[in-house]
């Protein structure tokens, strides 16, 4: 598998799409900060509140789907899972510490965010990759159906698991759980695995997808994890200067 991966031309379109989605994410997080940390009048940003659910999904679902496709391009998915996991822990530690030390930052703590989700899903993929890749085209249909059917489970209220602790990572948070960014294993593992299957079955991507359609976005896409980790402090600093 490693040798076949190394001979594939880079599919630059995925970098470009990731870079575009990264810009959208930075704008979304900036608006979240404005709406939740700086006391903005909700009427002044009513468009954001009416659009934020769709906007959020357009970002996170693309990241998770691309991460699934990338399982077929990675030489070492265990290493990918470890890198995602280390980054997720760093975000968890920094945001929880900031919330404890800075009262004005209440609500920014991230527990089981999207990086945790990518780490967990990639690790799960390494356990199931052989039967997954051997399955027929019915499998992504089943996974997408499961994704749709379980999508609301983590946000049910009241829920049978409201008084259960220790299962928020899986998708069954207690009533006291909170996170500024929450992407548990269920339902998102189904989205991830559906696109992992698709990535494993496409042996030749269209030629146009190897062309660099927008070099700046492609560069961002190739460095997406570093940009993700750095963008929020930079956005917070800029907003602090603006709202001083």
CB distance 77 to 132 below 8 Å: no
CA distance 61 to 188: 8
Q: pLDDT digit string (tens) for 129-167?
A: 999 999 999 999 999 999 999 999 999 989 999 999 999
Helix (H, G, I), strand (E, B) or coil at 9: coil
CB distance 109 to 94 below 8 Å: no
Domain map (residue ranges) of the chain: 2-242
Q: pLDDT digit string (tens) for 85-143?
A: 999 999 999 999 999 998 877 888 999 999 999 999 999 999 999 999 999 999 999 99
Q: pLDDT digit string (tens) for 28-83?
A: 999 998 888 877 777 778 888 899 999 999 999 999 999 999 999 999 999 999 99
Average pLDDT for residues 189-205, to the nearest whole number? 96
Enumerate residues 6+ apart whose C-beta is below 8 A from 59: 21, 24, 25, 28
CA distance 182 to 13: 28
Tell me the pTM: 0.93
CB atoms within 10 A of CB 61: 15
State both tokens at 58: 């357009």
């Amino acid at each position: 598998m490693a040798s076949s991966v190394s001979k594939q031309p880079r599919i630059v379109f995925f970098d470009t799409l990731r870079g575009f989605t990264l810009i959208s994410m930075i704008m979304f997080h900036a608006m979240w900060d404005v709406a939740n940390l700086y006391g903005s009048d909700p009427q002044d940003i009513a468009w954001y509140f009416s659009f934020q659910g769709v906007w959020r999904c357009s970002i996170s679902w693309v990241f998770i789907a691309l991460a699934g496709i990338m399982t077929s391009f990675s030489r070492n998915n265990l290493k990918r899972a470890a890198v995602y996991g280390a980054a997720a822990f760093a975000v968890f530690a920094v945001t929880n510490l900031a919330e404890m030390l800075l009262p004005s930052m209440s609500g920014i703590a991230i527990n089981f965010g999207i990086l945790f989700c990518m780490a967990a899903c990639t690790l799960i993929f390494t356990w199931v990759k052989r039967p997954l890749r051997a399955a027929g085209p019915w499998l992504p249909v089943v996974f997408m159906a499961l994704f749709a059917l379980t999508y609301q489970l983590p946000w049910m209220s009241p829920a049978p698991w409201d008084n259960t602790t220790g299962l928020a990572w899986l998708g069954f948070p207690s009533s006291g759980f909170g996170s500024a960014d929450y992407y548990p294993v269920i339902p998102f593992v189904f989205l991830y695995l559906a696109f992992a299957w698709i990535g494993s079955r496409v042996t030749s991507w269209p030629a146009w997808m190897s062309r660099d359609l927008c070099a700046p976005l492609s560069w961002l896409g190739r460095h997406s994890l570093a940009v993700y980790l750095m963008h929020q402090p930079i956005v917070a600093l800029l907003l602090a200067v603006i709202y001083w």
